[in-house]
Amino acid sequence: MSTMSEKSRTHTVLCVLGLCIWNLACAIDATALSVALPTISNELHADSISIYWAGAAFVLCSAVFQPIFASITAFGQRFAILLALSFFTVGSIVCALSHNVATLIAGRCLQGCGGGGLIILTYVVMASLFTLEQRSQYTSVIGMIWTVGTVCGPVVGGGFAEVSWRGIFWLNVPLAAISFFLVVFYMHIEQKPPESIMERLTKIDWLGCFLLSTSLTLILMSISWGGVMYSWSSWRTLVPLIGGVLVLVGWVMYSYSGIISNPMIPLVVLNDRTAAISYFGNLVHGLAQFGILYYLPLYYQVALSYSPLISGLALLPQCLLSGPSTAITGLLIAKTHLTKPFSFIGWLLFTYGLTELNLLTSSTTVFDWIILNIPSGIGLGILFASLSLSTQASAENRADCSPEEKVKVKTFSAGLNPFFRAVGQASGIAIGQSVFSNQISARLGPKTGRDAVALVSELKNLGISDPQRVVIVDAFVGSLRVLWWILVSTTALLAVLTLFTRDFAFVIDESVESEMAEVRCSDGESA
């Protein structure tokens, strides 16, 4: 018995290691392009809008395909994992071999589809293996992996950009192979009764997936090119924007209508003030996080003349602090059984850190920008753990649900965290690009705003005191300040909203936990 127990523990550790590896690969891939975009743009002759969509396409497809892959687990978790890893690996190869921006974006879409599946499958696998109290610890580990990966991604991207940016994508192939072996061969879940292909297909909300993906794409596309490629009053901007909003409203009505018994996102999960605020917090967390990771490197490369690699290294203060702060917060929440104080403190620190970014100038010293990055790094890490656990604690304590509904709410509560965060990340890139390009257009002219990223390469040929360089640097710094203030307003809003949430202790309802155990078995691997 002890031998089997030891063997089971070893297999669980190896399975979790596989989860960590594929989450690290996804995290690095999501942000590695942030410092390499000027280099890639120069080689592929792409404008600012299209090259930033190479980043946004990944996280947007990731967000949309997370609930799709949650439904695909009806075919078995091993099948879903294999499919997600295949998308991610093939997309990586397409990106590595691309010779134009259209092919690069297509590859990023494939990567995002697989990456979204891998993200949601992490939570599905953990829900199958661990109880809520155990998941609080493992969620912190995954959170630490993501905070480290997303901030170290620019370092990896910067390093490859100085040699060959294609290496960013080739790196994913061996990581995907290792994680597939560890998870598929060491994940042991009870089998469920066999179902027909038709029964499995009917469990997937195809229409809901189409409506949500269409609405998000239309909205973010119109935001990204509004005021830059087309004016905000142009029908080319207004039609997709209004159309996207209408389709989004249609998706909400469809999900609430009861037409389908298994909607991709059961909106009953959001019928709680604390849960709704926490999920919105995940969205804003992702928005602000990627607003920093994709646009702060521009400041380093333009204002301080750093190389892509050094620009990536300049984000290390956040990496070295956000990872440990995520882990420590998870441990403290596990001991105190409280999340609200940590979320509030996290939003305050994040807001303060974003405010400090407005102090960055062309003469900021290394010591100064290191200090200025510390608060946002700590705040990011705290929020990663507290927001994720807050939604799960809220689901655990829902009193307005039947036992069956409560099981569904608890099952979806963890998986919606990365979904809303990914939507926020895509929004952060698109909104950041729109704000930055519009501000550059106002300062340097419309044509410059459309090709602002190309200026990074041109600045290398100008002297430090060249009047033209001074004008461009001032325009970049001023444009980024507008973006920082917008991010400050969003995080400050969440700090206020957090005061209206309730704090729930992680008290396990044994009757519901017993039913969840049955669900884990019934949702396990197919024969």
459 vs 492, more confident: 492
375 confidence band (pLDDT: 50, 70, 90): very high
Average pLDDT, rounded, for the chain: 82
pTM (2 d.p.): 0.83
* Spatial CA neighbour of 207 closest among 264, 246, 155: 264
Percent helix / strand / coil, the chain, rounded to 5: 80, 0, 20
pLDDT at 359 (0 to 100): 94
Q: Say what the pLDDT of residue 367 is.
A: 93
Percent of the chain with pLDDT over 70: 87
Burial of 500 (0-12, 13-18, 19+ CB in 10 A): exposed
Q: What is the per-residue pLDDT across 473-522, written as a single tens digit (0 to 9) for each? A: 899 999 999 999 999 999 999 999 999 998 866 544 433 333 333 333 33
Beta bridge partners of 526: 192
Over residues 55-80, the mean pLDDT reads 81
For residues 271-275, give the mean pLDDT.
86
> Domain locations in the chain?
2-204+262-522, 205-261
Residue 116 has pLDDT above 50, yes or no: yes
**Domain at 2-204+262-522: CATH architecture:** Up-down Bundle (1.20)
pLDDT of residue 136: 65
Tokens encoding 175: 């990581």
Lowest mean pLDDT among 32-41, 127-136, 159-168, 205-214: 127-136
Q: Is 360 within 8 Å of 472 (Cβ atoms)?
A: no
Q: What are the φ/ψ torsions at residue 22 (nearest 5 degrees)?
A: -75, -30
97-101: average pLDDT = 92
Exposed e or buried b per residue across 311-320, where buried means at least 16 C-beta atoms within 10 angstroms of its C-beta: bbbbbbbbbb
Instruction: Tell me which amino acid residue 423 is.
Output: V
pLDDT value at residue 63: 83
Q: Is the pLDDT of residue 151 over 60?
A: yes
Buried residues in 3-26 as b, exposed as e (16+ CB within 10 A): eeeeeeeebbebbbebbbbbbbbb
Token pair 């490369």 is at which residue? Answer: 301
Q: Tell me how far CA of residue 241 lies from CA of 292, 315, 437, in angstroms.
A: 25, 34, 18
Task: Please state which of the ranges 132-136, 206-210, 332-336 shows the lowest mean pLDDT.
Answer: 132-136
What digits encode the pLDDT tens for the residues 435-449?
A: 998 898 888 887 776
- Distance, in Å, from the CA atom of 223 to the CA atom of 221, rounded to the nearest integer, reads 5
Q: What is the pLDDT of residues 316-366, one digit of tens each?
A: 887 778 878 888 998 898 888 888 999 999 999 999 999 999 999 989 999
Strands in 444-485 per DSSP E: none
